[in-house]
Structure 1
Amino acid sequence: MRKLTFIMILLFCATATYAQKGKVAQASSYLSSGKLDEAKKLIDEAITHENCVNDPKSYFIKGQIYQAIYESPLPDYKKLDPNALDVAWEAYQKVQQLDEKGKFPKKLKVQFENLAIDYANKGVEFYSSENYAGALNAFKRVLEIEKSPIINNPGIDTAIIFNAGLAAQKANLLSEAEGYYKEALKYNYEPAKTNVMLASVLKEQGKKEEALQYLQKGYELAPNDPFTLVELINYYLLGGEPEKAEVYLDAAIKQDPNNPSYYRAKGTLYEKLNQPEKAQAMYEKALSIDPNDFNSLFYLGNMKLNEANELNKVVFNIEDADEYNREVPKVYAAYAKAIPFFEKALEIQPGERNTMTILKELYFRLRATDPVYQEKYDKMQEALQKAE
């Protein structure tokens, strides 16, 4: 009786194995005919209910089916599994674990080569949708696949390394981004651009001196690259040595003389260097190119306001009453000179709160000199209250 039972168990296993392999074969047939929904259904059943064997072929076909789902141009098939590409990758990993006789490396190589392309496309897709962490993981997978002994590719995909750096930077994984950019530089991948991107990552991590080295290297390699110039300008302009920004601003202006932002930046530089006349000339130059340059208008207005404030301090300390009365109108006139710049700026950016607040204070100061200012003050006060 025991012998009969044992024979029945063997028969059951053989029957189950045959049924399972039959489903796998049918799933493969559906894959060949493009019926991915039926193929997925059968392979999922076969893998799940496998009781007697661990068959690498079954996992290979599963990988093929799920990879085809990802690659399908038909939305209905793509919806079968949003993580189809990862499922395919995991299935191929299982093939390698179970393939003790070494039957699948050549077949896997073909799938891996396509899989690398699929993950690269997936990375671009994630990046475009601003899923930067997803993009980074996809690019990492490409690199992992390309380093696999299955591929046996001695080449280095420097573009993917750089893209991994971009994705890591966007995902605020700055240390990882730094590593990828430095690796890309080892292989001389677009060195001018990569040096600049690496510099920006280093700067964000507080490594300012190292950042400057890479930034200058990028400039040496591509002195006419506007992005590199802007980075160098900002580095010095916002740092402790603003005077060093001038040479790069001049280079930028020479390259693009009709760009108002360069003249505006140079105006900011001259303000930092306490050269107000030169600063004013640069802001006016920017406005001659773009009369609606809000920042240049605001900066000019602010310069006039500062001049008025300095004059006010001097006049306030005059002790002689007659002299004080003679000088006060000059103070009012100085404040009035600032108003047109701020009013024009507000026309360009209606509702800009800082501009509205400054104008309200200027109207208040001058309300006794002209009823118009009292009226403007009341309107601005009301506008600010509504904006709260």
Structure 2
Amino acid sequence: MKKILFILVMMLSASSVFAQKSKVSGAQNYLTSGKLDKAKENIDEGIQHEKCANYPKAYLVKGKVYQGIFESPLPAYKNLEKNPLDIAYNAYLKALELDQKGKMLKPVKAQMINMIPDYTNEAVNRYNDKDYSGALAAFEKVLEIESMDLFKDNPIVDTVVIFNAGMAAQKAENFEKAIKYYKQSIEYNYGGAKTYAYLSKVLKANGNEKEAVEYIHNGFELFPNDSDMLVELINYYMFGGEPQKAADYLDKAIALDPNNASFYSAKGQLYDKMGELDNAISMYKKSIELDPEAFIPRYNLAIIVSNRVSKHHKEVNEILDAKKYNEAIKEVYADYEQVIPYFESALEVKPGEKNTLLILKEIYFKLRNQKEAYLEKYNEVKTQLDNMQ
């Protein structure tokens, strides 16, 4: 009787294992027929059974199902799982871990080859959605897959992904990883001057000022005619207290790209900083000519003109003779009227810009008693500013 009972228990146990493994087979069949919801339901149920927990094929199927969910164009299937690709990836790793006979190597490798474009697409989508940390994680998954032993016979060096991982890390302000991937890109001679320029930026942001400067100059030596390197050198010297060096590099940049309005604007700012205001005005006007929609040269030009009038106004206020003062102040008011179009021009290309409005408000107030129109404009601008608060 005991023997019969033992055989019955064995039969029930085998039946249970068979039932759970049939769930795995069912998941595969549903996957083949494109019914991802049913496939997911079957594999999730089947793989929970203790007898399937160490069954390599179950994890292979699970990986395929979840990878299929990621790749599906149908929202109903895509919404079955939030992060199907990571689940698929971990399932494939588990299949390899449990595989004692090497049967999983070939099918897992085939799936991993498809995981590379999947994770690349995921990274691009996250990057475009401004989820830079998520993009970095996806790019790193690509690199992780490509470095697996599965591909040791034909090692993959994906320089595009390495560089893009650096860009995603930079955007995510993960400067250590950005430095790592940009340096790798340089080792593989990928990205040209842009890589040196980006690397110098993240090194500086990370507090590695000395190394940042070294890479700027190394990049410039290798790519002397590249605008990215020139811009980095210009910015470094412009804001680093060596304006003459910045001017030299700006001249080279302008020679290489004479129609680039931003170079003339930068040269104008440099002259402005050095106190060479006539040269600054000339550069700002050239920048505006090349790019009529540029705000900065218009605003900076207006400030120079305005500051000159303000300086003249202060000098006139020192005049003690009433007759001479009355004559001189008329000229000051006339000069202020000449300033207005500069700021109004800046406001046309950037409506509602607060600093421009504040200065116009001040000028209109000064002229309020000269013409009634200026008092009206003063009230209009004041109302506009009050509404911003």
Q: Normalised by the size of structure 1, how large is the TM-score? A: 0.90
Amino acid in the other structure paired with 1:176:
K
Partners of 1:52 and 1:183 lie apart in 2 by 42
Partners of 2:254 and 2:305 lie apart in 1 by 26
Amino acid in the other structure paired with 1:192:
A
Amino acid in the other structure paired with 2:70:
Y
Pairs within 5 Å for 1:35-54? 35-51=35-51, 54=54
Amino acid in the other structure paired with 2:255:
K
Residue 123 (structure 1) aligns with:
123
Residue 361 (structure 1) aligns with:
362
Residue 135 (structure 1) aligns with:
135
Partners of 2:201 and 2:13 lie apart in 1 by 63
Partners of 2:14 and 2:323 lie apart in 1 by 117
Alpha-carbon distance, 1:268 to partner: 0.8
Partners of 1:97 and 1:5 lie apart in 2 by 37
Residues 64 and 314 (structure 1), Cα distance of their counterparts in 2 relative to 1, 3 Å cut = same
For the Cα contact (< 8 Å) 1:140–1:164, is it kept in 2? yes
Alpha-carbon distance, 1:338 to partner: 1.8
Residue 215 (structure 1) aligns with:
216
Alpha-carbon distance, 1:269 to partner: 0.7
Amino acid in the other structure paired with 2:105:
P
Residues 110 and 291 (structure 1), Cα distance of their counterparts in 2 relative to 1, 3 Å cut = closer
CA deviation string 1:116-165 (max 9, x = no partner) = 22212221222122221111111111111111112224332222111111
Alpha-carbon distance, 1:166 to partner: 1.1
Amino acid in the other structure paired with 2:112:
F
Alpha-carbon distance, 1:177 to partner: 1.0
Pairs within 5 Å for 1:296-375? 296-321=297-322, 323-375=324-376
Pairs within 5 Å for 1:1-388? 3-51=3-51, 54-152=54-152, 153-321=154-322, 323-388=324-389
Percent same amino acid among aligned pairs? 49
Q: CA RMSD in A?
A: 2.5
CA deviation string 1:315-345 (max 9, x = no partner) = 3334555554554334334333322211222
CA deviation string 1:46-70 (max 9, x = no partner) = 1123447621122112222222332
| 5+ residue gaps, structure 2 | none
Runs ≥4 in structure 1, deviation > 6 angstroms?
none
For the Cα contact (< 8 Å) 1:13–1:51, is it kept in 2? no
Query: Secondary structure, in 3 states, of the residue corresponding to 2:151?
Result: coil
For the Cα contact (< 8 Å) 2:196–2:229, is it kept in 1? no
For the Cα contact (< 8 Å) 1:16–1:52, is it kept in 2? no
Partners of 2:5 and 2:268 lie apart in 1 by 95
Partners of 1:292 and 1:84 lie apart in 2 by 46
Q: Normalised by the size of structure 2, how large is the TM-score? A: 0.90
| 5+ residue gaps, structure 1 | none
